[in-house]
Chain A
Amino acid sequence: MSELKLEELLIHEIAGLLSGSGHIACGVLSPIPGAAAMLTARREGAKVFIIGCDLPEFRCDGGVELFDQAGQGRVDAFFLSGGQIDGKANINLHGVGDYPTMDVRWSGAFGSAYLYYLVPKVILFRLEHSRRVFPETVDFISSPGVSDGGLHRPGGPHALVTNLCVFRFDRERARFRLASLHPGVSLEEVRDNTGFAFDAPESPAETAMPSPDDLALIRGEIATMLANPYPKFADRIFGVKAAA
């Protein structure tokens, strides 16, 4: 079996974080979370919805239904990212500098200023672990990590998965705690590249390796399924071409 790729490690790790979620939604530009959701679907029977995907198994009705489902509590897990994510899990999808004529302007909030509040298990995912991406405080709060006690907020951040490590988020303390380091990564490397303070155990665990069965599933059935919603990713990582 060929060497484990970072993408495969992350797919397996995120699938573990998703365990127990009956209904998982993800965006059409999120191939690694999408693959993780598919793996959870195969292992546990979770339903998976991929925004914008036209495969019947993953399709949702129009654009509105996902948000209605989240409002009712029918979506258990979702993924968000950010141009910046800070130590209180505030995410910034808008840009850098003073709003509105920012120095750098990004896309905008998409559904985050709603789904982050309502989906119980939101997994933050970003493959560029740097002080630029993870500052102490974001320039613009597209969606806040935590809210005042009175607000109806069943949802929020559960974990932050990067190319270096996995953090879990403590909503009571509004603070990240290192959960595991990917193979070959040191705690110092994570601290050097993180702009916010976080808690860490003295000797952090290593991110778990997929079992041979899981890896075979990822490289086989999951890779093939991925080729429809995520053709470029499936080709680049697994060499699987989309069916014509």
Chain B
Amino acid sequence: MVELLPSPDDLAARVPDGAMVAIAKEPLSPTALARALIRRGARDLHLVTVPTATYVADLLIGAGCVETVETSGVSLGEFGPAPRFSAAVKSGAVSIKDSTCPAVYAALQAGEKGQPFAPIRGLIGSDVFAKRDDYMTMPNPYDPADEVAILPALRPDIALIHADLADAHGNIWVGGRHELKMLAHAAHRTIATVEEVIDCDLRDDPAKAPNLIGSLYVDAVAPATGGAWPIAAPGRYSVDEDHLAAYARLAKDDAAFADYVRDQVFGAQSLEFRAAE
């Protein structure tokens, strides 16, 4: 039975230190959940980005929640490099497991199928491959001259998702974001914030029923209106360009980033604080 909890902070309490957590790329980044994790003081997370990430990963890394980041790329997109990510990798404050987008998907697909590994084209001869001691090659058993890269299946402990809608049964509607279904299937459990919890059974709607994360995969859901802000939630709000431009500037400086976290995560300027007013 899916638990409907009051707030992202209640969800964050379910994420133990050291967990392997996975976050899908924007839009709909789970930023309210990330802020709650920072408020909880989460530590030593193994953060998997599916397959890339922007602001939400930079924030979690900068706030000291992450020990290992497994990613195909972290940047602030059109707002430039991800300052806290770059600084943390440079200093060794986080350890990095670099990958490439389709490899993350292939490893998750193996995870969702319960298979031990996935073969994938490309990769061989790159330093991405060379630096990953868990990536290997094997001859294609059907054509031994054909060497392919193989990756271990990826099964995150917890998928952290922000979605548009959930119903009272814990079904989560993800629209066309099929990789969110893959992620939830591959993860051991899923916790999600949603813009809105609606009092119906989403499985009754033939347009929405094929695009649900079924409640079987879901541990707990909490409402978080604006839970992707400052990242976009299509159909509800667009990206907060001014905020991200300001973040890109502030996050380059240690003290300014600390002030940002104090104000925007813990303080009266935070979305959660303003929503509670």
Cβ–Cβ contact A151 & B124, under 8 A: yes
Cross-interface CB contact of B125 among A67, A70, A105, A141, cutoff 8 Å = A141
* B133 close to chain A: CB less than 8 A: no
* A6 close to chain B: CB less than 8 A: no
Interface of B is mostly: mixed
- Complex Cα–Cα for A117 and B125 (A): 10
CB distance from B88 to the nearest CB of A (A): 9
Cross-interface CB contact of A114 among B24, B25, B122, B182, cutoff 8 Å = B122
Residues of B within 8 A of A62 (CB): 176-179
CB distance from B85 to the nearest CB of A (A): 8
Q: How large is the interface on B (under 10, 10 to 19, 20 to 34, 35 or more residues)?
A: 35 or more
Cβ–Cβ contact B100 & A112, under 8 A: yes
* B127 close to chain A: CB less than 8 A: yes
Interface of A is mostly: loop
Cross-interface CB contact of A29 among B71, B74, B78, B81, cutoff 8 Å = B78
Cβ–Cβ contact A100 & B176, under 8 A: no
Q: A102-B89, A142-B128, A147-B124 are in contact. Are A63 and B78 (CB under 8 A)?
A: no
- Complex Cα–Cα for A108 and B82 (A): 11
- Complex Cα–Cα for A61 and B181 (A): 13
Interface residues of A in 127-142 (CB under 8 A from B): 140-142
- Complex Cα–Cα for A100 and B99 (A): 13
- Complex Cα–Cα for A29 and B92 (A): 29
Cβ–Cβ contact B100 & A111, under 8 A: yes
* B193 close to chain A: CB less than 8 A: no
Cβ–Cβ contact A105 & B102, under 8 A: no
- Complex Cα–Cα for A201 and B92 (A): 47
Cβ–Cβ contact B126 & A143, under 8 A: yes
Cβ–Cβ contact B234 & A105, under 8 A: no
- Complex Cα–Cα for A24 and B167 (A): 39
Nearest A residue to B90, CB-CB: A105
- Complex Cα–Cα for A21 and B176 (A): 27
Cβ–Cβ contact A110 & B121, under 8 A: no
Interface residues of A in 86-122 (CB under 8 A from B): 93-94, 99-118
- Complex Cα–Cα for A179 and B263 (A): 54
Residues of B within 8 A of A93 (CB): 73
Nearest B residue to A232, CB-CB: B78
- Complex Cα–Cα for A147 and B125 (A): 7
Q: A108-B73, A108-B98 are in contact. Are A113 and B128 (CB under 8 A)?
A: yes
B91-135 contact mask (Cβ, 8 Å, vs A): 1 or 0? 110011011111101000000000000001111111111010000
Cβ–Cβ contact B89 & A101, under 8 A: yes
Q: A64-B182, A141-B127 are in contact. Are A113 and B121 (CB under 8 A)?
A: no
* B72 close to chain A: CB less than 8 A: yes
Going nearest first, the 6 A-B pairs with the smallest beta carbon separation are A108-B73, A114-B122, A67-B102, A113-B100, A62-B178, A107-B75
**Cβ contacts A to B, 10 pairs, < 8 Å:** A63-B105, A63-B177, A64-B105, A102-B89, A106-B81, A107-B82, A109-B99, A109-B128, A113-B123, A118-B121
